[in-house]
Amino acid sequence: MSDKPASPRVKLRRLPDRGRYDAASLHAVLDAGLVCHVGFVMGDTPMVIPTAYWREGEHLYIHGSSKSGMAMALAKGAPACVTVTMLDALVLARSAFHHSVNYRSAVILGRFFEVTDPDAKLRGLEAFMERIAKGRWAEIRGPNKQELKATKLLGLELGEASVKIRSGPPKDDDEDMALRCWAGIVPVREVYETPIPDPLLAKGIALPGYLKIS
Amino acid sequence: MSDKPASPRVKLRRLPDRGRYDAASLHAVLDAGLVCHVGFVMGDTPMVIPTAYWREGEHLYIHGSSKSGMAMALAKGAPACVTVTMLDALVLARSAFHHSVNYRSAVILGRFFEVTDPDAKLRGLEAFMERIAKGRWAEIRGPNKQELKATKLLGLELGEASVKIRSGPPKDDDEDMALRCWAGIVPVREVYETPIPDPLLAKGIALPGYLKIS
């Protein structure tokens, strides 16, 4: 990716100063999230489905049941849009009009390809697990042949994408600055809380280090 | 809405036991969120854009700049899909295959209508503000004629929708239960943190009660 939009389709027209097109900005947004929203078209109906994703280099990956309608449509190369959004704050201005939110979002357009080679699929699923819980792959039972067959792994090149970011305090009109009303931001954050063991967990199995909250 | 899918388009085929179609389940998911992902089609390209929303009765509303490409397309009645997703937990199973996430999501299909009556627009924006910060509408400067004209308010009937929910611990295969690996869930929560005043906030303006974190 370069600093310029890869196509007119991903060029931001509204508030273009919030837009970025470089790989570092895109990677930063993608690496901060876990769930994306995938858009594709069924007949003339747009469908938007949430799913977990991960990034490796210049590709984003998702996986799902081989029988899922979305996975089947995407594997056939249907045009897709993947959007990742992090809400960072409510922005409370002095005028209704300038209320906003701080956020980071990425929009990627393209067509997925299916990863069919069993070894490549295994490596992909391992990379996903290791991103979430480093070291866990070695502890669990890996996918058997049947499970691997029941799973579709789909990749999307990060070639045509845009990032949009709003940050900072509210921006009110000059004539509103004297209003006696509170203005500022309310930060929003996604937090991972203390893990809860499976009620069926055998005794004597300690919480692994990769899940300890610092 | 009834307990049955309103159409084949919103009927869950994969893991149908996670699906719900009643109004109370849909309202509960929508009222817990703030940002939705709106899907629509531009040419043959699906576009997925995040935006804030609110619910009033059997309608979901969004607003945006009158000049935004999405608002213009939706105001013309383009087929749309609105998806709201809350990530509730990572689900760590004993096998790679049964790893999952707990979530609540809602998918609504339909065509938006534009609310053009200025009084109705004002009441809609007030309802949105009051949902986020009860009492704030009376403190701020309301939208003037020009700002109201620059804002599109769009509604969508909650007629054709589905809710999908996963909750609870991992569900492993019987033969994996003896594995000596930790299993359970890691709860994820979106938290609102201590508000940060605008650096330009005049002295002596206290944090309003509706922003105090209990």
Interchain pair A39, B81: CB under 8 A: yes
ipTM, 2 decimals?
0.96
- Asked if pLDDT for residue B1 goes beyond 70, the answer is no
Tokens standing for residue B125: 């924006």
Quickly state the pLDDT bin for A145 (edges 50, 70, 90).
very high
| Mean pLDDT score, B134-143 | 97
Does a structural domain hold residue B3? Answer: no
User: A-B interface: how many C-beta pairs under 8 angstroms?
Assistant: 271
Residue of B nearest to A144 (CA): B97
Give the tens place of pLDDT for each residue, B31-72. 999 999 999 999 989 999 999 999 999 999 999 999 999 999
Sign of the alpha-carbon torsion through A204, A207, A209, A210: positive
**CA–CA distance, A206 with B182 (Å, rounded to integer):** 7
pLDDT at position B202 = 93
Does a structural domain hold residue B89? Answer: yes
**A202: which chain B residues are within 8 Å (Cβ-Cβ)?**
177-178, 180
Number of H helices, E strands in chain B: 4, 12
- Asked if pLDDT for residue A1 goes beyond 70, the answer is no
- Given CB atoms, is B163 within the 8 Å cutoff of chain A? no
Helix (H, G, I), strand (E, B) or coil at B140: coil
HSE of A44 in the Cβ direction (CA atoms, 13 Å)? 6
Structural contact between residues A53 and A35, judged by C-beta atoms closer than 8 angstroms? yes
DSSP B90: E
- Residue in the structure block whose two tokens are 């055998």: A202
Give the tens place of pLDDT for each residue, A88-136. 999 999 999 999 999 999 999 999 999 999 999 999 999 999 999 999 9
| Mean pLDDT score, B95-120 | 98
CA distance B184 to chain A (A): 4
CA distance B57 to chain A (A): 23
Q: Which B positions 68-107 lie with beta carbon below 8 A of chain A? A: 68-69, 79-83, 85, 87, 90, 92-97, 99, 101, 103, 105, 107
Interchain pair A187, B187: CB under 8 A: no
**CA–CA distance, A84 with A27 (Å, rounded to integer):** 11
What's the predicted TM-score (pTM) here?
Answer: 0.96
| Mean pLDDT score, B101-127 | 98
pLDDT at position B16 = 85
- Asked if pLDDT for residue A213 goes beyond 90, the answer is no
- Asked if pLDDT for residue A214 goes beyond 90, the answer is no
Helix (H, G, I), strand (E, B) or coil at B179: coil
**CA–CA distance, A120 with A115 (Å, rounded to integer):** 7
The residue among A53 and B17 whose pLDDT is bigger is: A53
| Mean pLDDT score, B80-109 | 98
% of residues, chain B, pLDDT over 90? 92
H-type alpha helices, chain B: 23-32, 69-75, 118-132, 145-149
Tokens standing for residue A56: 């490796």
Phi, psi of B98, deg, nearest 5? -95, 5
Structural contact between residues A24 and A3, judged by C-beta atoms closer than 8 angstroms? no
Interchain pair B179, A94: CB under 8 A: no
Does a structural domain hold residue A33? Answer: yes
Amino acid at A193: E
- Report how many domains make up chain B: 1
**B208: which chain A residues are within 8 Å (Cβ-Cβ)?**
182
- Asked if pLDDT for residue A212 goes beyond 90, the answer is no
Phi, psi of B123, deg, nearest 5? -65, -35
Does a structural domain hold residue A3? Answer: no
pLDDT at position A14 = 81
- Given CB atoms, is A190 within the 8 Å cutoff of chain B? yes
Interchain pair A46, B136: CB under 8 A: no
Q: Which B positions 195-214 lie with beta carbon below 8 A of chain A? A: 195-202, 205-208, 211
**A186: which chain B residues are within 8 Å (Cβ-Cβ)?**
192-193, 195-196, 211
Does a structural domain hold residue A2? Answer: no
Phi, psi of A211, deg, nearest 5? -105, 0
Tokens standing for residue B187: 């709860």
Residue of A nearest to B40 (CA): A46
Does a structural domain hold residue B141? Answer: yes
- Given CB atoms, is B49 within the 8 Å cutoff of chain A? yes
pLDDT at position A81 = 98
Quickly count: other Cβ atoms within 10 Å of residue B180's Cβ: 9
pLDDT at position B13 = 83
Find how far residue B28's CA is from the centre of its chain.
10
CA distance A206 to chain B (A): 7
The domain in which residue B89 lies consists of 8-211
Structural contact between residues A100 and A189, judged by C-beta atoms closer than 8 angstroms? no
Give the tens place of pLDDT for each residue, B141-196. 999 999 999 999 999 999 999 999 999 999 999 999 999 999 999 999 999 999 99
**CATH number of domain containing A176:** 2.30.110.10
Interchain pair B190, A136: CB under 8 A: no
| Mean pLDDT score, A49-57 | 98
**CA–CA distance, B26 with B20 (Å, rounded to integer):** 8
Nearest CB among B107, B144, B196 relative to A187 is that of B196
Cα distances from B200 to residues A164, A170, A198, B133, B182, in angstroms, run 25, 10, 49, 21, 50
Does a structural domain hold residue B113? Answer: yes
DSSP sequence for chain A: --SS-SSGGG---SSGGGEE-SHHHHHHHHHH-SEEEEEEEETTEEEEEEEE-EEETTEEEEEEETT-HHHHHHHTT-EEEEEEEEEEEEEE-SBGGG-EEEEEEEEEEEE-EEE--HHHHHHHHHHHHHHHSTTGGGTSBPP-HHHHHTEEEEEEETTEEEEEEE-SS----GGGTT--S--EEEEEEEEE---EE-TTPPTT-PPPGGG---
Tokens standing for residue B16: 């149908």
DSSP H/E element including B81: strand B79-92
Tokens standing for residue B172: 């492993």
pLDDT at position A2 = 67
- Given CB atoms, is A166 within the 8 Å cutoff of chain B? no
Give the tens place of pLDDT for each residue, A186-197. 999 999 999 999
Interchain pair B190, A185: CB under 8 A: no
Does a structural domain hold residue A147? Answer: yes
